[in-house]
Structure 1
Amino acid sequence: MFKKLFISVSLLFISYSASAQRERVENLPNFDKPLIHYGFYLGLNTNGFKVSYKPSSFANANVEVTSEVGFNVGLIGDLKLHKNVNVRFEPGLISNTKTLRFTHTANDGEAIREVGNTYLHLPIIFKFSTDRLNNIRPYVLGGASFDYNFSSNESNQNDNFSGQFRQNASNFMYEVGIGVDFYLPYFKFSPSIRGIFAITNELKPDNRGPSQWTDPIDFMGTRGVFLHLSFE
């Protein structure tokens, strides 16, 4: 869904930009001159988990992860380092819901956990842009973030034996992406597609064992795709 929406939005603005180029109209000609500028973003995401396993007393361990569409929203602070390189601070919120099915559990009634996550997302992003071509400017980006999960249940004493799936609240992630700047008459619009990947293990083990939910898991970390729409 995100890719189709991104392609549709991109084609719309590419068509607009192409028309403007034929007329040789350059919007916001001084936009990139200031050292610092600000903006905001919003978008959609679909986040799952990458799960790897370790030897345990549970045979054929497997966790199936399905996710619903979530949203992301935040602010932008942009510092120009070079005419083609910017560093950006993009604090915001990421919210989504995932369903985990533990296919190796003995009791089907205990096999499903619904995990709702709301992250405070604090990324530092490096943006590498081409030279501007009239009203468009493609770019690639990459960076790392600190993410705090408000709904991790890390401090909850109840664990999966009480029906409560827990995660570590503080995590580090990295993200990469591609996008295009569109210089419109009154603002710059920048759609991008981004991938986000956890560096640290988000799983908090159960208090006691053997735990069919956490013992077989060696690493569980967020993997997601964002449709990111920036307005500057």
Structure 2
Amino acid sequence: MGQGKLSGENLPGYEYKKLRWGFSLGVNSSWYTLEHSQYYIDKIKQEPNFTVNEKFGIGFNVNFITTYRLSPDVVLRAQPGVGYHSRAVEYMGSFEGSENGMKLQEVNTFSGELPLLVKYESKRRKNTQMYFIGGIKPTYVVGGPKKGNPEVLQIKPFDFSIEYGVGLDMFYPFFKFSPELRYSRGISNIHEPYESLYNNSIQKLGTNTITLYLNFE
């Protein structure tokens, strides 16, 4: 029988260990939720073709994992790490030097993040176990747009998100592998007011991220 198959019961009793460690790799898709300002409303009355819309971007995550079992079904997980997120806002209108009237403000950031999550596990079936997970994630940008540049969309460095998702624990002879899909919704307004066309058109920015994590413990 091939080594890759889950035959018999691997790591018996592992799901009941009090304390576990691991790491995770992730790929994410991120975008903003934006709320237009009064400046924007006034501008489209003068320039009806002027629009401001969010765009998706792709990034990645690298995290460590520490889990502590609270009960037979519930685990507390801390997942500190770093994330690279690429988000953009597209401006359409009359811009000098632009043939198609479009300006794209890409906001690429490196952030330190600390998800604190509660994981609810179903009953283990041989070598698989479904679970639901949810919690909070504080984030701090350590590398992003240059501050005070009127040609760049300005954002605040701190964000706070609510996260929830679903995953599958798969027990192998020497480790546990868990693909996990998680959605993160920022509840902070990260827009930094600044006197420029790109910033005046927006009064509120929130973050959205869908991440596919590959967890190893």
TM-score normalised by the shorter chain: which range applies?
A: 0.7 to 0.9
Matches within 5 A, 1:209-224: 211-224=196-209
* CA displacement 1:148-189 (0-9 Å, x = unmatched): 0112447x2x232xx222210011011110010000111000
Q: Which residue of 2 aligns with 1:6?
A: none
Alignment of 1:1-232 (within 5 A): 16-17=5-6, 20=7, 25-56=8-39, 57-59=42-44, 62-104=51-93, 106-107=95-96, 109=98, 111-153=103-145, 156=147, 158-160=148-150, 163-206=151-194, 208=195, 211-232=196-217
Q: 1:204 to 1:82 in 2, by over 3 A?
A: same
Q: Quick check: 1:58–1:212 contact (8 Å CA) kept in 2?
A: no
Q: Return the structure number with greater helix share.
A: 1
Unaligned stretches of 5+ residues in structure 2? none
Q: Is the 8 A contact 1:65 1:99 kept in 2?
A: yes
Secondary structure of 2:163's aligned partner: strand
CA distance in 2, matches of 1:43, 1:121: 13
CA distance in 2, matches of 1:214, 1:181: 44
Q: Which runs of 5+ in 1 are unaligned?
A: 1-14
Q: Secondary structure at the match of 1:214?
A: helix
Q: Which runs of 4+ in 1 moved over 6 A?
A: none
Paired amino acid for 1:196 = S
SS of 1:32's equivalent in the other structure is helix
Q: Percent of aligned pairs with the same residue?
A: 26
Rounded to whole Å, the distance in 1 between the matches of 2:86 and 2:24 is 21
Question: Any idea what the Cα deviations from partners look like across 1:102-138, whole Å, max 9, x if unmatched?
Answer: 1246546482222111111111011011011110000
Provide the alpha-carbon RMSD of the alignment.
2.0
Alignment coverage as a number of residue pairs: 205
Q: Helix, strand or coil: the match of 2:136?
A: strand
Matches of 1:79 and 1:45 in 2, distance apart? 26
User: Which structure features the higher share of strand residues?
Assistant: 2
| Whole-angstrom distance in 2 between the partners of 1:170 and 1:105 | 33
- Amino acid corresponding to residue 136 of structure 1 in structure 2: T
Cα distance in 2 between the residues matched to 1:105 and 1:34: 62
Distance 2:191 2:96 in 1: 22
What is the deviation of 1:216?
2.8
For 2:199 and 2:97, the matched residues in 1 are separated by: 16
Q: CA deviation at 1:69?
A: 2.1
**Could you tell me the TM-score, scaled by structure 1's length?**
0.81
**In structure 1, distance between residues paired with 2:81 and 2:97:** 37
